[in-house]
Each structure stands twice: as structure tokens, then as C-alpha cells.
Structure 1
Amino acid sequence: MLDSLGNLRLTFLQPWWLLLIPVLLPPLVLLSMRSLAGLGKARRAAAILLRASVVSLIALALSDPQLVRRNESLTTIFLLDASRSIPGDLQAPMLQFINRAIAQHQRPEDRAGVVVFGKESKVESPPAPYTETLTGVQSTIDSEYTDLASAMKLALATFPDDTARRIVVLSDGNENRGDAYEQALAAAGLDVQVDVLPVDYNYDREVLVEKIALPPDVKKGETVNINVVVRAAAPARGRLEIYQKADNSTVPIDTLDDVELQRGVNVFRLKQEITDPNFYTYSAQFIPEEGLRRGLRADRAMNNMAEGFTQYRGEANVLLIEGTANEHEELVDALRENELAVTTLAAGDVTGAGLVGGDPLPTDLSELQKYDAIILANVPKDAFTDAQQELIANATHDQGIGLLMIGGETSFGAGGWMNTPIEKALPVDMQIPALKVKGKAAMVMIMHASEIPEGNYWQAVVAQEALKTLSSYDYAGLLHWQGQESWLFTLREIGGAKSAMLRAIDRMTPGDMPDMNPSLAMAGRALRSKQDAMSRHVIIISDGDPTAPTPPVIRQLKNAKVTVTTVLTAAHGNDIRSATVMQQLAQQTNGRFYNVTNPRALPRIYQKEARLISRPLIFEGPPPAWNVTMAYQSEPLLGLPQDLPPISGLVLASVKENELVEVPITSPNPTGQLNPVLAHWNYGLGRAVAFTSDAGRKWTTQWPGWDSYTAFWSQVVRWALRPVDRGNLTVSLRREEGQIKVVVDAIDAESDFLNFLQFQGIVNRPDRALDAPAERLELQQIAPGKYEGTIDNAEARGNYFVTLGYRGPDGQQGVITTGLSVPYSDEYRDLRSNPVLLESLADATGGEVFQWEAGPDGRLSGDRTAMAADVFRRDPDVQPPRSYRPIWHWMLFAAALVFVGDVGVRRIAPDFERIRRHLADSWQQLRGREVAPREEYMEKLRSRKAEVGQQIDRTRAATRFEAPTVPPPPGGPSPTADPTATGAAPDRPRPSGNSGRGTGLGPDRPKEAPGEADTYTNRLLKAKKKVWEEREQEKGKEKGDDHGRPS
């Protein structure tokens, strides 16, 4: 208690307000002595003292008084390095050090906390008086990097304000993010010491394959020079294997056996002839000789491999993805005839087992690099994953690869491409005006809880995907089981309610439906009510366990032209009866049956079903075919004839409201709207084209025989191709300190510098999220013909692709695509620890540098090290923290209380003698003695008794009344006449109208003495008397009126 009080002192933040006390108190005392002269000496002195206290307390409150407490407690936060660079055999001693240091040195008033860090930092244990023993790191962090600076920053933010603070760093000192020394200077400014325990290691037998140096582009007939750079910490022997990857096929191209590495940098040079245009990735791996037999403890295998890539550009290469194999032979032949290389892939079909029967579609940006354009020809959306759709759209926007979509029954909106990245890239929208819709689609989804893993999740996913595929003019409804069949949302036009429907599906929890009959009957009635629906469809997902629908319900569905698609999931033990029920229901209603063995196929099934009922988005006119109109010749159509062959159908779409969109070819049918047939625009670095009819099949049967068919398609596709570099530009990429330097050297054909070029650069990182916006790259000219830019935070492993579009002042333009591979994290590049950095942190903050102690077995001991390292010591050079507590509000409260006392002293004159006697009597009573009544007290009692007796006598006298003397009215009966003779009631006694009127007393009753108390009884008698007088006056008036009235 005394120690606690000894750590307290009072200070004032605005002490100049204290001058009010000597300035105001003297005149206050003088004025108060004069104004309070009528009070006694004691009361006047007390009043003046209280007034002076009020003024003094207010002045103290204005000076902002603070109670300052000096806190002797200490908070220590340990920063634990959990990155990959820390050797595995040193992680346990680091935890031991923390546990032993807390147990050995922490005082009861101290606190301890732990922060773990890698790429990011997290609080493993917040500062507390008691910290549980650490057995391992529970926080999840990215261990591929080391950011000691962020850990120090987090620790500074975690410290409490009322204790001394210390940071203890357990790390190797190899940081590859942030600036720890900068944070140490900030800590020193806050009086925070940083102690360090360096984790020492030295990979003296490490081998690193640093990089593969390749030219970014090679031309026809060139030989590729492959340079493999290997760095060794010591002489080593092993085998070097080199591979080439193209089109998802990896083949070894060379193996160097019995390679001898010298200490330092070793370069191995190979030559490779490339004959086929493609995008090639080369990888090199070094396998140490000792590692072949038993493995090297000092060598880390993660940094023994590196990659690089190059591209051989031949003739323009086009990727055509179609829904069915060989569906577009005429188009492919026309493009190849015009010296365009074409690769065709069939997308396959969606089944219960997933996407089957098709070719593997690209899944990585490197697989698309060899193509200059991508054609999506009558292929549905459900053939692609969301990632693949983003990949194609980004390839157009960021890499300049052209994108073309050709119509058909499974293309554009009819193929479910609404609200996708592909729609965003195209010059047309799939949502069409209501005037164009010839008929609408109506779909009811019936959800039955299925026993597949994460069943509720997949139920929601499939319903949402199906809903997204429908247009805003279609009808949608969803039935599920909630103790009974009920609508999650009734069948209605989607319109602007799609977002609300999607949110409702998120909250959906379907139950186990016992019977299909009621839900199918409800769906049938709802679908029949939509008379403008051109197609009516039900999709039911179930395990086949509910009771099968009855024949009457089936007939009602068939009569209403309602098709039912059944999706069987997780049938009980592959129950044949369940599969039969679901299959027969689909067959009887002309629907489709899916037996799902892979839950991931469910979304695609629902997308496909929603797409198949979207026939309203297709316009097919009655024969004959009609002519389309070429309004003008845009750049892709220059030189072509104006007269085009007729078409007999197209997929409806609307033109994007953007001034970059050009629509040179339109269709007059359907009437009333602008119906684009060919539209194109620039999208980012690339170009996109939409052709809403097909390419020579069902709707354009006369086009393949047209003389300009080959010229038409070759010109349109060539316009969309990725622009090629028309200048002599060389791009080099170099990675250093987590950044990639991009340097461009630009010269023309005459070897003159190209100056004042404007670059539009886009970077595709390996860790880029699918929906993340493109990263821009700015290049600045730093010398004649030389431009430079920087890609920051290039730390993720993988391929970095850089696309540079440029334009010169003389109209020259082009697009260059290059890249760089980061084979492994920088954590594997450092061969030894960096204690110098850690020592600099301690020196900057006045901290200590601890050294590891070895145990009996010779290994590092965290326990022994902690015994000698007092991380909770009190440093005399560091001032203990002080906490400030404002008390001005208490001063104001005290001033208010004293002011009340001042008023009381001036207004109340206390009888001190009476108070003294009362206290004496109370003391006697507390001691159990009887206190006799005092004489003056008895006298007061007798006086009061006499007064009360007089009041009672007066009250009794007031209750006696005399009969009133009333003079007979003129001409009336005599006073002696019997009042009953006339039938009138006898008069009641009334108070007399003599001099006693107004008091209620008779003539012999003496008047009340002046000042006598007006009791309740007196007031009551006065009121009664007043009432009788008023009644008497009224009665006399009535009699006077009767006498004056003629008979």
C-alpha cells in the first residue's frame, strides 16, 4: 500500500490556471466580510472559507490535474521466426528458450506474449501475466518468406501502455520483406528495447540451381542457347537433368552424368533446335551424388530445380474450341487455306460423372501463350470451369490474344454465357430486350436432401448455377421440403429479383422429402399457369428414396408439355429401385436422367439443363432464309463484297453501349430491334469478335459455297490476332531483392533509337486471384531508346508474364510478350544466417545479444540458454513508464459539494446548544440508560394540549343551529298556518339571517377571535350555510314571481 502511494504524484497539464487562486481570493474575502456582516463570527468565517474553497477547486479543475503513477511492471514479447529458412532441428530449442525464460525470470507483475512471423505476422499468445507452455506454433502463416519488420510492428502495437516494454527476437536475420532496422529505430523512439537470440546455421554443402537463361523469343531457323546456372557452397558431384515441356508433354532433352561442381557459380551451356512453333518451358534439376544414396542433410532439395521458357512464333496460330468434334470443318479448312495454323479441341458433354468425351482444355496461361486467337464455336459455358473462363478473358485483355465467339444452338445466351467473364470481353450482351423474346422459359427446381458429402452446399451451388444461366425474362421457382412441400420462392419472372433469389438459396436447408407426388403436382400447376412460356421444365435432384409419382400426375405433366429431368445422387447402396424410379420419371416426361457419381458434376448438369430450355434466345425464321445487311465495311471487312449470303437463324444478343463497339453486319429479323450479326471491338490489349449466326452449318448453309467465304473468315480472324512486334525491341527481365526489373531496348530497322514510345504494360502473376484486376506496369524512358519499369513484391513461385503494348509518335505499334520464372522462394537462397542484422537491432535500441548454450549432448539447449538470458531484467537506463489519470472531474464534483455547504451555512442558523443536548441524550440511550423528559419539553406538551381542547370546543359549538325566522310573503298564508294543509313539505330549520351570517353561528354565539385557526370543521360549516342561504334566496324569488303573476 505504501509502495503504491509512493509511486503516485500530482501534476498539472495547464498550471497557469492556478494563478486564479491568488488573483481572486483576496477580493473575494473582502467582499464576503462586508456582505456577510449580519452573520455571527463563526458562520461568517465558515461561509468565507467555503467560498474560497469553491473558487480554488474550480481553478484546480481548469488546470487539468493528473495523477501520475510510475509502473514497475514489464511486458516482454517474443518474436518467433517460423519461416522455411530456419533449420528443422533448431525449432524445438527456440520453443524451449521461450518457455524456460518465462518460467525462470518472469515476475508476478510482468506480462509475456509471443508473435510468430513468416510472410505475415500473427499473435500466437497475447501479453498476459501467465502464458501457457508452447508446444508448437498454432497460427497459420505463409512460411515461404521472412518479414521481421512486420513482426516488430505488430509487437509495438500489441504492447500495453502502462508497462515497460521489451522485444526478444529469435530469428536467423535473413529477411526478404520489409526493413527491420527501420522498425528498430521506431522502437528506440518509444523506449522499447530489442534483445536478439541469433539462430546460427551454415549450409556449407548447399547446391542451388539459380536459373535457366533463355531468349524470350526465337525465330525460324534459330537454335536456342540454354544456360543453366548452378551455385555451390562447396565442391560437389552429381547429375544434371534438363527437360522440355510443351502442350502438357514433358520430355528429357539432356542428362549430364558425373557433373563436378566447383565452389561458386557454375554455368552449363546447351543448344536446342526448335522446329515447331510453340511455347516451351525448360526445367533443370541437380541431383547430388550423395543424395542418390542416403540424402544430404545440409542440402535442401527445394532449391535444386529451376525453370525458364521461350517461344517460337511461326505462322499465326489459332485455337478453335467447339462443342462437337469436326463440327466446323469448313471453317477450319478456310483458315488453313489462308496460312493460319489451327488447333481444334472438342469440349465434350456433361454427364453424371462430369465432363466426358472431350479434349483437355487449357488450364494455365502458359498453355495459351502459343496461340494468337481463340475461337469459341458453338460451345456451351458448362464445358468450362470458372477458372478457365477467367483464363480466356484475361488472355485477351492482358496478353492481347484475340477472342471470337461463333453462334449456334449452344452459344452466346443459348449456351449459358450470361454474366460470365467471356460475356464481359465480347462486344455484345447476352441479356436481350423483352421485345426480342418470342417465348420464355419456365423452370422449377425441386430440392430433396441428399446423402452426398456436403449435401446442403452442393444443393445451393447447383440451384444458383442454374438460376444464373437463365435470363431475366425467364421464369424460375424452387420447391423444397420443410416438414411439407413449400416454395422457397414461387415460380415468377426473374427480372430484378435474381439477387434476392440467390440470397434465398444461400439460406436454403432442404429436408428429406418422403413423396414426389405433391411437389411434382405443385410444380405442374405453377408451370401450366405461365401461358407465355415456350418451354416448361422441372429439374429434381434426389437420392431416389421418395415414393414415385402416380400415373395421374405423370399424365398432367405430359398434357401440360412439362419435361422433367431427374438427377440421382447417392442412391442408397446403389439401389436399383431408386435408379429405376428416377430414370422412368425422366423417360415418361421426355426429360433426361443423370446418375451422378461425382458431386462436382452437379453444377454443370444444372447449367446444361437451364441452357437447353433457353430456346427463346434463338431466332429461327420460317423458310426461306433472309438476307443480312452490311451497313459499312469496317477494318475486318475491307475489300469484301457488300452482298452477303442469307441466314436462317441466329442467337439473339444486344450491342454493348460503348463507343468502341462496331456493328457492320446486322439482321432485319426479328423486326423492331437492332440484331447484330457481326460486332467487334478492342478489349484491353486484345480484340474480340461476335458472330451470332453459325459458320456454315444449320443457319448458314449457303455460306460455304460463297466465293468470299474463305476471305471473310480469314480477314475476321486475322484482324483479331494478337498484334505482332513490328519493331526491333529487346526486353530483358532481371529479378533482384524481391523485384523484377523490366528493361526495353528499342531500335528501328536502321539501328536508330526509338524514342518517346508509349507503353501499356500488364503483369500476370502466378498468385493472381481469378477475379483480381490486371496489374499495370509503367515504363519510363531513362536513356535514348531505353525504357525501364519495376514489378514489386515478385516473391511468389511460378511464371510472371509481362505483356507490353507500345505505340510510337510515327504510328509504329506492336505487342511484346515475355516473362520470367521464379523457381523457389528466397528462403532457399540464403546459405547462412545474418547475425549482423540482428546485432544492429540490439545496438539501435540498447538491447542485449544472447548466445546459445550447448547441452550435455553437444546440441543447442533452449533451457540452458534461457537460464543465462534474463529477458525480464530491469534496465536502469530505461525509465519506467508512467500512467496518467485525469482527476479534474473529481475537483468539479468537490466544488459542487462545497458550494452546497456554503449555501447551507448562510441560510441555516443551527442551535448548537440543542444539538449538544441531543447528542448527549443519544449517547445515554446507546449506553442503555433512561433519559428523563426535560421541563421545557413537558411545558410545551401541556400548552399544546390546551390549544387542542379549545379547538374541539369550538367545533362542537358550531354544530348547534336555531330555526330561522322567515317573514311571511305578501298576501301569503300566516306564519301560524299549517303548511301541510296545502300539501307542501314543512320547512327545514335554516340558519338565521342575523348578524351571525357568514359564520354559521346563532345570534348568541360569540365571534371567533382574530387569528383563531380556521379548522376543517369551520370551513365545512361555512359552506353549508352558504348553500342554505342561496336556496332561501331562490325560493323567495319564486314566491315573489307567483304573487305578481295574474290569475
Structure 2
Amino acid sequence: MVAGWLPLLYVELVWVRAIAERHLRIERPALALVAAAALTVVCLRLGQLSPRMHRTRRWLTEALLVTAALASALATLGLELGRPLDRMTVILAVDRSRSIDMVSDAEARLRAELTVAERGMGERDRLGVVAFAAEARTEDPPRPRTSAPSPQRVEVGRDATDLAGAIRRALAELPSDTAARVVLLSDGVATRGDALQAAAAAVAAGVPIDVVPLDQRTMPDVRVVSLRMPPRASENEPLELRLVTSSGVDTEIEVRVSRDGKPLKKATARIQKGEDVLRIKELAPGPGLHRYDVEISSLDPRADEAPEDNAGAAFLRVRGTSSALVLEGDEGKGAFIARALEDAGFRVEQGSTGAVPADLAGLAAHDLVVFSDIRASDLAPSQIEALASYARDLGGGLLLLGGDRSLGPGGYARTALEEVSPLSFDLKQERRRASLAEVISIDYSGSMGASAGSHTKLDLANEAAARSASLLGGSDRLGVAHVDTSNAWTVPMGPVTDPAATARVIKAVRVGGGGILVDLALDEGYKALDRERVNLKHFLLFADGGDAESMTGCRAKVASALARGITTSVVALGRGSDVPELEVLAKVGQGRFYLVEDATRLPAIFSQETILASRSAIHEVDFRPSLGAPGAATRSIDFSSAPALHGYVVSIPKARASVHLTGPEGDPILASWSVGVGRSATFTSDLKDRWGVGWTSWSGAGRMVGQLGRDLARRGDDPRVR
């Protein structure tokens, strides 16, 4: 009976801190009283055993029952035996955000704290480093004192400070077999995340957090507080830009003014300590939306040690004739559209691929943008996003025209431009096309680990393959292999039943080693395609242009595959020594060759190649469109007298889209809708010398373009409102 009360006695002694929980711990101490009572009842019941029972039998019965009851009680209490931990893991979370630049000798202090931590370590202790700013990454995994620190320094985005992310990353790095602490070295200026919630998670895990504050020094600074100007004006109306500055001392500054990204004027001025106002005279330019940027710099560098805040911007809407920008991939072939818009009262600018504005500011001056036959791979992702944002966020009008370099065939599926279009470029919904079996072989040799912006080359190639998988339909089949000196089937050949799961598997692949063995990639890919029973078979090879190996005899392999109905396309990354032979392989395989120097364009190229391989996106047939939903674009036009169109890009109307003209089997030819604060439309044929050559001499087409332009263009100001 006494043994039954021992756990309760132990719990009470620990609770009053008379003894320490060093070698013995009870997980559920609240049940100690219940266990003692239960054991007492068992012992009392054993005392009531019959006196006629044989002594040996009685002794064994009592011993076994007491032992079983005691074991059950200890199991219920959760008795744990162990020994004190004599190892400590310390994770230093180091702030690398931009605000640390304002801390005096920040790097020296960080090195000193790291040295102090190492000197205080025992032989079995571990030390790790987590670097953080906008995100947190492990720079040096926990290591013993005897191991040298990692020479690498991870890159993190410096435009924010996420203390919560740093704490969670540090907790994730702590091993379970040691005591632990987290040391936070930061100025404490958190701009994202919930640091208190993350600290609560550390408390719950029993991990203390120490903080070493890095105090910012007061820096001399000259900055732009604001740039103010009237939001609207008439052409050539006098304007006044008010530039509000702040400075710690009286100083001379240089002021630079630009409009729509082009330098406008430059001057020097003297500003007073504290806030000051500079007035800049200007005449309102031509009609449209214009952006003014002002930058300042102190002529005395000692007066401004933080130049990041030396710029301001403002927008001006100038009333007048609407402006249209016609961007046509075939230079000079946008003349018909330009002429039709001019007849409708637009002021028109024309350009080709090189004239596509680099950002939103270059588009803002126009009320309407016409976009025709320019491949997605010829543009930076930021340019595609700017076109979408122009309609969605700035209220501009966007007209997309068809062609073999536009819409789906141009590689715009799953891009921001498709999002703002009233039509979907998704080929997997196209019911008429033949089934496609495609193998994508991706080079994941060591050279693919190089950075391309914020991602590695392999990350972008994996993203591109995942986007291609999302474009395939239920009757299509896909295989994805990663190849270096061996061939690894990341996605075995089969239907894409769960695009999201397929994408996760592809994106999880990391860099391998060696160079890609092209002959191995071809053999394995062709072998998989030979087993398929579909109408179309296509092989897409992605390789480093300077690190493709074992290409001897590959021309014969590609030619043999073509004879068996398998086409081959090649994407080469970088202008390396292997590019000429890779291009020959694509020509022999009657596919397409893409030379890519900017890895961020890989997703658009893979999408374009997948759609072109399906041979379904372009439908070349003579037809006359039929009227659909009424709209401003088709008002009062007799389409029964229209010449025939000779082809169009197959697409799918979205739920809210208004389809004004339809073609064979009800396919949309002209559709429009409102997107965000603007409007967009898609004409799936063209209006130049290929499919729409007859329409370029038909007056109804010119009228349709003019009415459509007026319907899409950014709305003018109400003359009654000033």
C-alpha cells in the first residue's frame, strides 16, 4: 500500500520544489491521487482473501496483483526515466534588412556576438545561424564548436523585416536531443508577421529567446516628403508641381524631373532645415495619363547618407484627343487598324516588339492599347503583367488580336494577359483536337543551379514544365524526366489527373550533377513515347547551351523518331558552344528551336510549345462570322456582306464575356468584357495580310475597329466636373 502513495509523494515534493525533476518525470501528475486511491482499494481487497488459501498461492496472488496494479498506475501517470541534458543548441537569428544599414558598425557587432557565442560553447554544444529580412533562411545549420562555419552567405530580400519568420525558422532548426536557446540580433523594426505569436510558440516549446538590440544611429538625411500637382488639366495649361522636402540641415540639392520615364528638366535649389516647399512650373503635355517623377540629391554627400527616400511621383490626366498605341509583331502591318482608329478620332502611335513599354508608366499615357502577334517569349514577365495591370488597375482599354504568335500559340496561356482577356487560351477544353503524348526532358545538371533573378534556372524550368502540365486535357498524356548523367522519371508517362499534385512533384526536384547526356535523354523519351497509342507524339528537350554532352549519333535518333511519328523541339539556355547542334536536332525533328538567354521567359516558351504541339490552337478555314450578343463594336454593321476570314485562334469564352461574333461550331471570333476598372476585347482572327486580308478593304471592318476602340478606351472626364 505504501508503494501506491509514493508517486503522489514525489509529485508533491516536486511541486513545492523540495526536489528537482532530474532523472524521473511524471507526465500526468494530476492523476497521482487517483492512482494512489486505486492501489489502496486493491490492497484492501487483497486483505479480504480467504484464510483457507494456501500460503504460497496467497503470496503469489498478492504479489502479481499488486505488481500489475502498480504498473498500470505508473503507466497511467506517464512515468519517464532519463538523465539531465548536458548539451545546448543556440540559434543566432541575424537581421539583414535595409534598416540595419543605419546601425553603426552592424557587421562588426554581429561578428563579435558570434565570436562570444562560440567562446562560451562546450565541446558538445552546437551553434547555428539564421539570416532574415523579408524572409528567413538558414545560413549555417547547427554545428559543433570544432566545425568551421559555413562560408556561404544566403541572399534574402532586404525590403522588409519579418521577426516572426525568423523565430519560426530558428525553432525549426533546433534538434530534439539538446537544450535550446534562440538569440535574436535585430533593430526590432518589424514590418510583417506577428512576432508575439511566434514568441508564444517558442514559449510553448520551452525555448527561451534572448534579444541583442542593434540600435540605429541618427543619420543625416535629405528626403522627398511628397510631390503634389493637380490631378487633371487641359493641354498646354500652366501647372505647378509642389515638391515637399525634409532635411536635417540647410543644403543645396539637385532636382531632376522626368515625365513618362523621359528626362524633362534639371536644376539646383537651396532648401531649408526641416520641411521646405519647391515650386516647379510646367505646361500640361498632350492628352492622356502622364506620370511625373522627381528625384533629388544633395550636392554635399555628408548631408544625405540615406538616398533611398529621395524620389516622389504623381499622375496627371490631360484632357483632349484619346490616344491609342498599336503594337504589331510584323512591323508596318498594323496600318489598317491605325487608320481605322484615326478615322474614329484617336491619336495613334505604332510600334513593334521593341516598342512594348517596359512598365506600367509607359502604357499610362494611352487610352487604348492594341496588341497583335507578339510572342510572350519576346517579352519580360514584367511587361506582360504591365499590360494586364493597364486594363485592370488603370482603366485602360486593351484589344488583343489573333495570330500564330498571339493568344495561346503565342505562349500567353496561364499568364496575366489571359486573366484579363474575355477568352481562355486553355487547349485542354478544346473538344475537336487529337490526343497528345508529350515527354519533357529537363537538364538538371550542376549548371542549372545558377541564379536567374530570385530563382535558380532549374526552378524556372520546373515551373515551366508544371505550367505545361496544367494545359493538358484528360485524353492527353505527359511524362517529365530530369536528366544529367542518368535519366530520372519525375512524372512517369500517364494522364495528368491532378495538375496541382503534378506541379508539386516537378517543383520539388533539386539540382543534380554533371552535364546532361543528350543521347540518354532522347533514348528514354522516345522509348516512352513509342509505347503510347495516341494521334500526336512530341518530345521537348531543355538543355544548357554550353553543357550538353554525348550528342554524337543524336541526329539519326531524332530522324528515326520522326519516321515513327514523334516530333522533337529543343529549348537551349544560353549562347554556348552546343547551341548549333541543338538547333540542328530541332530542325531534323521538324519541331521548333528556342534560344533563351533570360531564364524568366521559360514558362511562356514551354506553354507556347505545348499548345503548338497539340496542333489545335489554330484553325485555318474560310468562313464568315455570325452575329452573337449585341454590342457597341458591331452596331449598325451588315456582316452578311463581309468578306470571308481565312482562319482564327481557337479559344473558349469565359463566363461573363459577351461574344459579339462567332465562327465555325460557335467558336468566339470577337468577345469583350469589363475587367477591374477597364475593359478588354479579343478578336481571334487578324486584320492584316493573312487571315483578314479581305477585311482590310471592307469598310465594315474599319467601322468595327473604330466602334470597338471607343467602347474599350479609357473614359473621358465629365466636362461638368472640375
TM score, norm. by length of structure 1: 0.50
> Post-superposition shift, 1:84?
2.9
1:369 aligns with 2:383: no
1:522 aligns with 2:560: yes
- Secondary structure of 1:31's counterpart equals coil
Within the candidate set 361, 384, 387, 1:389 is matched to 384
The answer to whether the 8 A contact 2:401-2:682 is kept is yes
Q: Distance in 2 between matches of 1:217 and 1:429?
A: 37
Within the candidate set 28, 46, 50, 2:46 is matched to 28
Structure-to-structure mapping, 1:150-161, within 5 angstroms: 150-152=165-167
Q: 1:250 to 1:103 in 2, by over 3 A?
A: same
Q: Identify the residue that residue 308 of structure 1 maps to in structure 2.
A: 313
Within the candidate set 657, 663, 669, 1:661 is matched to 657
Q: Distance in 2 between matches of 1:391 and 1:243?
A: 23
Q: Distance in 2 between matches of 1:328 and 1:426?
A: 20
Q: 1:46 to 1:133 in 2, by over 3 A?
A: same
Q: Distance in 1 between matches of 2:44 and 2:531?
A: 88
The answer to whether the 8 A contact 1:80-1:114 is kept is yes
Counting matched residue pairs gives: 648
Q: 1:480 to 1:699 in 2, by over 3 A?
A: same
Q: Identify the residue that residue 275 of structure 1 maps to in structure 2.
A: 285
Q: Distance in 1 between matches of 2:395 and 2:383?
A: 17
Structure-to-structure mapping, 1:211-290, within 5 angstroms: 211-233=226-248, 235-246=249-260, 248-251=261-264, 253-257=265-269, 259-262=270-273, 264-290=274-300
Within the candidate set 637, 642, 645, 1:645 is matched to 642
Structure-to-structure mapping, 1:692-771, within 5 angstroms: 692-695=684-687, 697-700=689-692, 703-704=695-696, 706-723=698-715
Letter of the structure 1 residue corresponding to residue 218 of structure 2: Y
> Post-superposition shift, 1:223?
3.9
Q: 1:240 to 1:127 in 2, by over 3 A?
A: same
> Post-superposition shift, 1:178?
5.2
Letter of the structure 1 residue corresponding to residue 254 of structure 2: L
- Secondary structure of 2:105's counterpart equals helix
Letter of the structure 1 residue corresponding to residue 258 of structure 2: Q
1:401 aligns with 2:396: yes
Structure-to-structure mapping, 1:427-576, within 5 angstroms: 427-429=422-424, 431=427, 481-482=519-520, 487=526, 489-490=528-529, 512-515=550-553, 518-519=556-557, 521-523=559-561, 525-527=563-565, 570=576
Q: 1:94 to 1:343 in 2, by over 3 A?
A: same
Q: Identify the residue that residue 688 of structure 1 maps to in structure 2.
A: 680
Q: Identify the residue that residue 107 of structure 2 maps to in structure 1.
A: 91
- Secondary structure of 2:52's counterpart equals helix
Name structure 1 gaps, 5 residues minimum.
348-358, 531-536, 543-566, 729-748, 752-1047
Q: Identify the residue that residue 335 of structure 1 maps to in structure 2.
A: 341
Q: 1:107 to 1:55 in 2, by over 3 A?
A: same
The answer to whether the 8 A contact 2:42-2:66 is kept is no
Structure-to-structure mapping, 1:72-83, within 5 angstroms: 78-83=92-97
Q: Distance in 2 between matches of 1:516 and 1:175?
A: 56
Q: Distance in 1 between matches of 2:112 and 2:81?
A: 39
User: Aligned-residue CA RMSD in angstroms?
Assistant: 5.8
Q: Distance in 1 between matches of 2:105 and 2:75?
A: 63
- Secondary structure of 1:244's counterpart equals strand
Q: 1:268 to 1:32 in 2, by over 3 A?
A: farther
Q: 1:219 to 1:469 in 2, by over 3 A?
A: farther
Q: Distance in 1 between matches of 2:64 and 2:607?
A: 86
Within the candidate set 22, 25, 30, 1:13 is matched to 30
Name structure 2 gaps, 5 residues minimum.
1-17, 451-456, 481-516
Structure-to-structure mapping, 1:777-792, within 5 angstroms: none
Q: Identify the residue that residue 330 of structure 2 maps to in structure 1.
A: 324
Q: 1:13 to 1:445 in 2, by over 3 A?
A: closer
Percent of pairs with identical residues: 22
Q: What do residues 699-740 of structure 1 show as CA deviations (whole Å, max 9, x unaligned)?
A: 555545545444322111211223456599xxxxxxxxxxxx
Q: 1:90 to 1:645 in 2, by over 3 A?
A: closer
Q: Distance in 1 between matches of 2:287 and 2:655?
A: 37
Q: Identify the residue that residue 511 of structure 2 maps to in structure 1.
A: none
1:54 aligns with 2:67: yes
Structure-to-structure mapping, 1:956-975, within 5 angstroms: none
- Secondary structure of 1:633's counterpart equals coil
Q: Distance in 1 between matches of 2:178 and 2:447?
A: 52
Q: Distance in 1 between matches of 2:39 and 2:531?
A: 81
Letter of the structure 2 residue corresponding to residue 243 of structure 1: V
> Post-superposition shift, 1:244?
0.6
Q: Identify the residue that residue 1027 of structure 1 maps to in structure 2.
A: none
Higher mean displacement: 169-178 or 133-142: 133-142
> Post-superposition shift, 1:345?
1.3
Q: 1:271 to 1:62 in 2, by over 3 A?
A: same
Q: 1:172 to 1:718 in 2, by over 3 A?
A: same
> Post-superposition shift, 1:518?
3.0
- Secondary structure of 1:330's counterpart equals helix
- Secondary structure of 2:714's counterpart equals coil
Q: 1:250 to 1:492 in 2, by over 3 A?
A: farther
Q: Distance in 1 between matches of 2:178 and 2:569?
A: 66
Q: 1:8 to 1:91 in 2, by over 3 A?
A: same
The answer to whether the 8 A contact 2:132-2:166 is kept is yes
Q: What do residues 524-548 of structure 1 show as CA deviations (whole Å, max 9, x unaligned)?
A: 5335xx9xxxxxx776899xxxxxx
The answer to whether the 8 A contact 1:403-1:689 is kept is yes
The answer to whether the 8 A contact 1:427-1:690 is kept is yes
The answer to whether the 8 A contact 1:482-1:511 is kept is no
Q: 1:641 to 1:88 in 2, by over 3 A?
A: same
Q: 1:45 to 1:136 in 2, by over 3 A?
A: same
Q: Identify the residue that residue 800 of structure 1 maps to in structure 2.
A: none
Q: 1:346 to 1:30 in 2, by over 3 A?
A: closer
Q: What do residues 888-935 of structure 1 show as CA deviations (whole Å, max 9, x unaligned)?
A: xxxxxxxxxxxxxxxxxxxxxxxxxxxxxxxxxxxxxxxxxxxxxxxx
Which structure carries more relative contact order (alpha carbon 8 Å, separation 6+)?
Answer: 1
User: Which has more radius of gyration?
Assistant: 1
Q: Identify the residue that residue 118 of structure 1 maps to in structure 2.
A: 133
The answer to whether the 8 A contact 1:407-1:650 is kept is no
> Post-superposition shift, 1:325?
2.2
The answer to whether the 8 A contact 2:293-2:311 is kept is yes
Q: Identify the residue that residue 534 of structure 1 maps to in structure 2.
A: none
Q: Identify the residue that residue 620 of structure 2 maps to in structure 1.
A: 619
> Post-superposition shift, 1:448?
13
The answer to whether the 8 A contact 2:221-2:306 is kept is no
- Secondary structure of 2:47's counterpart equals helix
Q: Distance in 2 between matches of 1:448 and 1:152?
A: 36
> Post-superposition shift, 1:64?
1.5
The answer to whether the 8 A contact 1:464-1:505 is kept is no
Q: Identify the residue that residue 207 of structure 1 maps to in structure 2.
A: 222
Within the candidate set 625, 636, 651, 2:633 is matched to 636
Q: Distance in 2 between matches of 1:190 and 1:452?
A: 39
The answer to whether the 8 A contact 2:23-2:82 is kept is yes
The answer to whether the 8 A contact 2:104-2:217 is kept is no
- Secondary structure of 2:253's counterpart equals strand
> Post-superposition shift, 1:396?
3.2
Q: 1:612 to 1:221 in 2, by over 3 A?
A: farther
Q: Distance in 2 between matches of 1:684 and 1:123?
A: 40
Q: Distance in 2 between matches of 1:474 and 1:389?
A: 28
Q: 1:647 to 1:432 in 2, by over 3 A?
A: farther
Q: 1:231 to 1:20 in 2, by over 3 A?
A: same
The answer to whether the 8 A contact 2:436-2:536 is kept is no
1:145 aligns with 2:160: yes
Q: Distance in 2 between matches of 1:56 and 1:698?
A: 92
